[in-house]
Amino acid sequence: MKPYTPALQRILCIGGGPAGLYFALLMKRRDPALTITVVERNRPFDTFGWGVVFSDQTLGNLQAADPESAQLIGDAFNHWDDIEVFYKGGRVRSGGHGFCGIGRKKLLNILQERCIALGVDLVFETDVSDDQALAAQYNADLVIASDGLNSRIRTRYADTFQPDIDTRECRFVWLGTKKTFDAFTFDFVQTEHGWFQAHAYKFDGETSTFIVETPEAVWKAHGIDQMEQAEGVAFCEKLFADRLEGHALISNAQHLRGSANWIRFPRVICKTWVHWADVAGRSTPVVLMGDAAHTAHFSIGSGTKLALEDAIDLADEFSRHANADVAEVLQGYEARRSVEVLKIQNAARNSTEWFENVDRYTGMEVEQFAYSLLTRSQRISHENLRLRDAKWLEGYENWLVQQAVPGAQPKKHPTPPMLLPLTVRGLTLKNRIVVSPMAQYSAADGVVGDYHLVHLGARALGGAALVMVEMTSPTPEGRITPGCPGLWNDAQKAGLKRIVDFVHGQSSARIGLQLGHSGAKGSTQLGWDKIDEPLPEGNWPLLSASAVPYGEQNQVPRAMTRADMDALTAAFVDATQRAADAGFDWLELHAAHGYLLSAFICPLTNLRTDEYGGTLANRCRYPLEVFAAMRAVWPADRPMSVRISAHDWAPGGNTPDDAVEMARLFKAAGCDVIDVSSGQTTRQARPVYGRMYQTPFADRVRNEAGILTMAVGAISEADHANSIIAAGRADLCAVARPHLADPAWTLHEAAKLQTRAVEWPRPYESGRDQLYREIARQQALNAPAP
């Protein structure tokens, strides 16, 4: 390999954990002329901790980076494919997951020996208090700060690295046992104060890691915070006696007193990873690596993986750009690697929150509880589980079918979760896919015409169970734009009834209407002009909860009086009666996205001092009044949903905790389904986007408030929908943009599944549905259509 330029001759790694050792050996392997020193505070071949876990994929990365050490690590690994879940006296075991376990001490010993063989200098029992002095001592051209979770170097240069450290909610203790588990085992035990969970796996021929975790409040309620270490270990032995089968739990942290071995996981994110320090008059890069730069919760086993892959990535970057300036190499490394780490950390966040909130899922049967656990990070999907263990997933799909269709017989190819029927009140939907209400800006004086007939009719023929008409206003002033529909007169009702009749006459889909008032976001331009911006002329006056404009450029609305509220409630009731007369199957009240009812709920836009302001219950008072009045005139056998913004994504705004309480209030008022969206309540919102990014909010609302939910937001594949429904994160999936691009999105996604010989639930199909389904299936098979 081509040696490096003289600009990089001496490397100093501060911290002899996996990151520092592995980077040192990789760089020395690539260029033996480099002088590389690793400084570690502990003694030679001494380490703490129990076992660490890698996936098969990670082991493959190690093999490509350094076959010699990978062979030694592979020989020491204990490999298993199964995950086993114990919960409420039940047990679920699935395979194909591909894990490897190795003792942390064994791993470090292998890396240490490999470093010595290559000529890396290892300096032990040296506690580094001044990295600059040490860098000057070794005349380092590059300093790797691999000094772990409590990195002194990260703290010293915090102004550059800008660390964000979030200490999580659970307490956990890292123990070992001589009971060897033949699967990665999760055991959930309920006590009088709450739930404990154990994460257990074998890492050598005679020892297993045994991590015990519980929420802080449960930990304190049992008095573990006041126990000596031996008492706490004995408590865990008794709690998990069924799984330990007489084996003891072992601690290797005897140097800690009391309950100090129970810690809370710190999630570390750094804005930047490279600091340029003045070392003896030279500008020297100091690069964070491993836990010093980032952490990922142990529940996805990625801390050591991230550290080793950091080392691989930076070493590869130097190899690819051997003649490049060191600064350019480090800039490229940080830019690329930080994105990959963020992906893992996002998955780890989802996993962490699942384990912090086990109680949320304890209403589930063991079958669904285990599925929810397996897919908790949203990295593992429904079809990914099929690749891992098709037989187990087939059994679970049949279980889901039996929940949806009691008495159904097991099949070789069960109906996928997204195609299962759902009954809400007196309405049965043929599957779980909803065409989201999407503004089309194509109405004339509030009247929908041919465009909407084609737009909504095509999607009703496209396989979705429920097609929603965009937000429709009960008053002229409640429209978002002049092109938005309304329902305050009979001409508007007739236009909508024409579409309803087409959907009912030509498909087996159902059709719903979303009613809402724009509030402070009204009187704006069409979506393809300047969205959310005021009309150039002809603006109408606006109403809202308070005189708070949506933006500086928007009108200041008038705060509603009691008389305004009464008049608008009456208008909603009148529109509801017209919707019922038009034959709609479903009615949704829009209380999200900063529109009028949302403005009452959001504390950033509701500044009222009367009974409609202040607490969340008060802020929801008027939206609940409107909903109750609508429910009173809407037919009792037809469902009603409410769309909420579950997170304002802005300081001082509503949070997912508030969303759960909102859902409880609407449920008590007779709401059947909460349509869980987020944001758009203020221009200051800063959402964190990503695949299925709003689904966790639907999950919380469904499983904490005990109400059906509709998930929406970046759901673009059947695999997403199947995962959401199967895990019990939501009961319906609202799909927007994919249905704009392809009116038959549901048919086409289902047809891909049908290549596995899946059948639709035919009792809910019309003849035309069956024909279109077969056309889509043939297209998926790339064969001529009949």
- Residue 561's Cβ-count burial label (10 Å; 0-12, 13-18, 19+) is exposed
Residue 371: partners with Cβ closer than 8 Å, 6 or more residues away: 385, 396, 726, 727, 728
Token pair of 327 as six digits:
């600064």
Q: How far is 67 from 87, CA to CA, in rounded Å? A: 41
Cβ–Cβ under 8 Å, residues 261 and 59: no
Token pair of 199 as six digits:
């994460």
- Residue 391's Cβ-count burial label (10 Å; 0-12, 13-18, 19+) is exposed
Q: How far is 167 from 267, CA to CA, in rounded Å? A: 6
In degrees and rounded to multiples of 5, residue 423 shows phi and psi of -105, 125
Q: How far is 307 from 315, CA to CA, in rounded Å? A: 13
Looking from the CA of 115 toward its CB, the CA atoms found within 13 Å total 28
Give how far the C-alpha of residue 141 lies from the chain's centroid of Cα atoms, to the nearest Å: 40
Task: Tell me how many degrees the CA angle 726-373-397 measures, rounded to the nearest 5.
Answer: 30
Helices 621-633 and 656-668, packing angle to 10 deg: 40
Residue 179: partners with Cβ closer than 8 Å, 6 or more residues away: 200, 208, 210, 243, 244, 245, 247
Residue 405: partners with Cβ closer than 8 Å, 6 or more residues away: 420, 421, 761
List of E strands, 637-766: 640-645, 673-677, 708-712, 732-735
Residue type, 232: G
- Residue 379's Cβ-count burial label (10 Å; 0-12, 13-18, 19+) is middle
List of E strands, 124-207: 142-145, 163-177, 184-190, 195-202
Q: Which of 740, 694, 746, 696 is nearest to 717 (CA)?
A: 746
Q: How far is 708 from 699, CA to CA, in rounded Å? A: 10
Strands 142-145 and 10-14: parallel
Q: How many CB atoms lie within 10 A of CB 752?
A: 18
Q: 102 by DSSP, 3-state: which? A: strand
The catalytic site residues sit at 595
Cβ–Cβ under 8 Å, residues 756 and 416: no
Q: 295 by DSSP, 3-state: which? A: coil
Q: How far is 593 from 678, CA to CA, in rounded Å? A: 7
Cβ–Cβ under 8 Å, residues 668 and 627: no
Token pair of 321 as six digits:
């750009």
Q: How far is 218 from 226, CA to CA, in rounded Å? A: 13
Looking from the CA of 593 toward its CB, the CA atoms found within 13 Å total 18
Task: List, as one string, the DSSP characters of 506-522.
Answer: H-S-EEEEEE---GGG-
Q: 542 by DSSP, 3-state: which? A: coil
- The one-character DSSP state at 705 is I
- The one-character DSSP state at 17 is S
- The one-character DSSP state at 742 is -
Cβ–Cβ under 8 Å, residues 447 and 488: no
Q: Which of 589, 539, 592, 593 is nearest to 569 (CA)?
A: 589
Residue 220: partners with Cβ closer than 8 Å, 6 or more residues away: none
